[in-house]
Amino acid sequence: MRVIALIAIREYLENIKTKGFWLGVLLFPVIFIAIFFFSNKLATSAPTRHYLLIDQSGQYAEAVESAILREHQRRVLQEFVSYLQENRKDLDLERTPEVDTSSQVDQLIDDVGNDELAALDMWLDSGGLNVALTMMSGSLRVDAPAFIAPRPQFIAAPLPAGIDVDAAPERIIEQLRPLLTGDRTMIIAGQPASLFAVILIPADVTEDIVRPGTMPAPQGAAGIQYWASNLTDTRLSSAIQSSVNNSIRINEFSAQGIDIQAVRDIQRTRLPVSRLDPKKEAGEETVSAADTFRQWAPVGFVYLMFISLIQSLQYLLSNTIEEKANRIIEVLLASVTPGELMMGKLLGIGMSGITTIATWIISFLLFISFYQSTETELIGQIINVLFSSELIPWFVFYYVSGYALYSGIFLAIGSLCNTLKEAQSLMTPMMMILVVPLVTMSFIAQDPNGTVARIMSWIPLFTPFAMMNRAAAQPPMIDIVGTTLLLLASVALVLWLSGKIFRQGVLRTGQPPRVLELLRMLRT
């Protein structure tokens, strides 16, 4: 045992002394922190889009302009609600959400969450951002930062010289096509700018209105023509379609003598749905934000387990192949047995994997401690929820057992190969197996005690990931006990078989063995 410990310490120190190890370890928290700092900036860094509106019908220009205004106000409303949730005085994940009609903050958040369109109407009718800031100021923290509204992303461009708005639509588009394709630019406020879209409403557009019982117009340039070469940003076209159709319906309501305000009031009418957990104690059944996070937290643990295992297994494989190629293995085997060397490597690289996870956790805790903000306070509460839950013991057990299972396999692969290129063909099937739990983790989280989740739990290669994913759903005791015993037995079997292969393959030279030769190794 003393020899195994010495080898483990040697392997551990050899790994953590390298610059590549710490570069790989610290890269994850650095990327996370960078995303944290720049997420708001990236979210608001979308370029300003200039559009042209040509309404030959004279009926829908106001509806289109209203759509663009509403799209901007919708973004302002969403940002403001997020601002309220992050900076309100009673920010607490463990707080059970309750319906409180006297609280304007709760009412606004509830309206947006249940019916954003109706909430947007009320937002605009009540005066928008300026009024909301005045009304909600008493609900904000004293140290809350000032709210910065997002800037408009769609701005009307002046009509270029020489464009006859009364010409045929085909002629207008032909003249504007170079601007739409980027072959030419416009001069707006003394600066060159590209034209994002042209909204062209033909004079006879009302003939294309689709009513119940009528056939829609054939595909083509029917109705409002929205010209844009950017096919991925559909916000403007969707907002225009919604606003114009809403305008048409209002006209239809008026024509039939229907009170549109009564219709809007009816559309805003709703019945709240309370989310209750039957597993909680009487009187505390209401689901809180912390409860929801705990239910999804295993997905994060599975992803963390996957990333750490991949890193540790790569170190284990490359370390074994490198020492074998450099003949260091032969020197070590002169003093220790193959079994001692194998277990020492397994434990040493395993400790480096634990160091990786510990470094990530410490990095996040230091970041939260030194960078005080409402966002980091929320992250801190999430971490407290995690550490106060029962998921940590599950993670420790399944991480260790998963590492022991897969490290035995990868150590055997490393002992059979002389170069990383030779190991690729043997590693590919194992990597495909490792990806399966990552692909299915969201499905298992949604149905943790379903057929797929239970079947995967009883497959030893998937057990650590599947059972960790089911941890928050209190799986049946037969699954917990049965899969644990099967997993431990599989770990023992894999390490025993891997020891046989390692003992014979670690000094082997030449091409990796074929399947029949590998089977003979296992029988020896």
Is 435 in contact with 421 (CB distance < 8 Å)?
Answer: no
> Would you state the torsion angle of the CA atoms of residues 516, 518, 519, 521, taken in this order, to the nearest 10 degrees?
130
* Residue 207 pLDDT greater than 70, yes or no: yes
Tokens of residue 171, six digits:
């002629």
Whole-number percent of the chain with pLDDT over 90: 12
Cβ 242 vs Cβ 226: under 8 Å: no
139, 104 contact by CB (below 8 A): yes
pLDDT digits (tens, 9 = 90+) for 414-428: 888 777 777 777 778
d(CA 431, CA 437): 11
Report residue 296 as tokens.
């999804």
Residue owning tokens 């005791």: 477
Report the C-alpha gap between 302 and 346 in whole angstroms.
21
State the Cα–Cα distance between residues 323 and 507, nearest whole angstrom. Answer: 11
Question: Is residue 8 within 8 Å of residue 340, measured between CB atoms?
Answer: no
Task: Classify strands 49-55 and 154-156 as parallel, antiparallel or unpaired.
Answer: parallel
In this predicted structure, the answer to whether residue 480 has a pLDDT above a threshold of 70 is yes
Give the CA angle between residues 85, 89, 95 to the nearest 5°.
Answer: 70
Between 476 and 379, name the one with better pLDDT.
Answer: 476
Q: Is the Cβ–Cβ distance between 419 and 502 less than 8 Å? A: no
Residue 160's closest CA among 23, 319, 251, 50?
Answer: 50
**Enclosing H/E stretch for 451:** helix 451-457
Answer yes or no: is pLDDT of 106 > 70: no
Does residue 104 surpass a pLDDT of 60?
no
**What is the per-residue pLDDT across 359-387, written as a single tens digit (0 to 9) for each?**
888 887 787 777 666 556 666 666 776 66
The pLDDT of residue 54: 93
pLDDT digits (tens, 9 = 90+) for 113-146: 555 556 666 667 677 777 777 767 667 777 777 8
Q: Which tokens belong to 239?
A: 């907002």
Side-chain-side CA neighbours of residue 323 (13 Å): 22
Structure tokens at 372: 């005080």
**Chain centroid, CA 365 distance in Å:** 21
Rounded to an integer, what distance in angstroms lies between the CA atom of residue 306 and that of residue 461? 13
Is beta strand 225-227 parallel, antiparallel or unpaired with respect to 191-193? unpaired
- Asked if 288 contacts 96 with a C-beta cutoff of 8 angstroms, the reply is yes
HSE of 139, CA atoms in CB hemisphere, 13 A? 21
Contact between residue 241 and residue 94 where contact means Cβ atoms under 8 Å apart: no
Up-side HSE of residue 178: CA atoms within 13 Å toward CB?
Answer: 7
Q: Residue 161: what pLDDT?
A: 85
**Confidence band for 98, pLDDT divided at 50, 70 and 90:** very low
pLDDT at 485: 96
Helix pair angle (391-416, 338-370), 10° resolution: 140
Res. 12 pLDDT band, cuts 50 70 90: confident
Q: How confident is the model at residue 483 (pLDDT cuts 50, 70, 90)?
A: very high
Q: Which two tokens stand for residue 42?
A: 């990236």
Residue 299 pLDDT more than 90? no
**The pLDDT of residue 453 is above 80:** yes
Mean pLDDT on 209-226: 71
In the β-sheet with 195-201, what is the strand arrangement from edge to edge?
154-156, 49-55, 195-201, 225-227
CB 374 within 8 A of CB 86: yes
| Neighbouring C-alpha atoms within 13 Å toward the C-beta of 166 | 0
Tokens standing for 496? 């025993």
How far, in Å, CA of 441 to CA of 452, rounded? Answer: 11
pLDDT value at 520 more than 50? yes
Is residue 469 a contact partner of residue 444, using CB atoms and an 8 Å limit? yes
